[in-house]
Amino acid sequence: MSELALVTGATSGIGRAFAERLAADGHDLLIVGRRKERLEEFAETHPDVDVRVVHADLSTPAGIDAVAGICATESLTMLVNNAGVAHYMPLAELPADKAAELVNVKILAPTLLTRAVVAGMQERGEGTIVNVAGMIAFSGPAPHSQMPRRAVYGGSLAYLVAMSQTLAAELEGTGVAVQVVCPGVVATEFHERQGLDMSEVPRMTVEDVVTASLRGLELGETVCAPGVENAALLDAVFQADLAAFAGQSPHLATRYRDTNALPGD
């Protein structure tokens, strides 16, 4: 049986690069996106593999349900949750419809598509789930002077990191691998569609992001950071997370009990 991968956001950027690489490796594909003409163009130019076009908008319940139905019924060997929108702006300035779109595309859709696919993968004893996030997931503690505020966007990527790590632990020993890939700034149309000029900013290629992801899967990485040379930095973050988690107690911390204590005491 041929390998079958479903890639969301496959019309451009990282999603298109994933589809290109997987097709070159002989995977049959289900490619999902909002721009039908680009999906059809991809299918026409890749006659050596079976490419099925899925025209769906993952910012809508109907779009999510349609793709989740495919995930639940097709024998997928790989799911790449790549679809994304940016909407970079402070929360108070973020229109409600754009906030909902962002949450649907980067949180709800990956969650429900993964939920739909994972049972079949477990039953077959194999499969791979890749969630595309970004290094902004780790930027929450940054001061305002260091980078623009983008609370919902950053929060959605942080969700993908935490969800992927927790799911990877849930699926340990099942034959199903889970990865979240966290690139930095990448050369795609993503920022241009937000009206941002990134032409002077050094950017990674989409091909390098996909190379890192696939090699990271071979290395057994749950969190793949293509531009982080020193992987010990990531390990330090995760160990600090676990140390804080382990440091909890049923007793109220002293700093909240002692009203005379000053910050830093």
Q: Which of 88, 153, 159, 256 is catalytic?
A: 153
Q: What's the CA gap between 101 and 94, in Å, rounded? A: 11
Residue 236 structure tokens: 């330090």
Give ∠ CA 52-58-62 in degrees, rounded to 5: 90
Helix (H, G, I), strand (E, B) or coil at 129: strand
Q: How far is CA 41 from CA 25, 98, 154, 181, in A?
A: 19, 29, 33, 27
Based on the residue annotation, tell me whether 88 is a catalytic residue of this protein: no
Q: Indicate the DSSP class of residue 93.
A: G
Q: Indicate the DSSP class of residue 200.
A: T
Q: Indicate the DSSP class of residue 26.
A: T
Q: Cβ atoms within 10 A of the Cβ of 26, count?
A: 10
Q: What's the CA gap between 192 and 120, in Å, rounded? A: 38
CA 101 and chain centroid, separation: 15
Residues involved in catalysis: 153
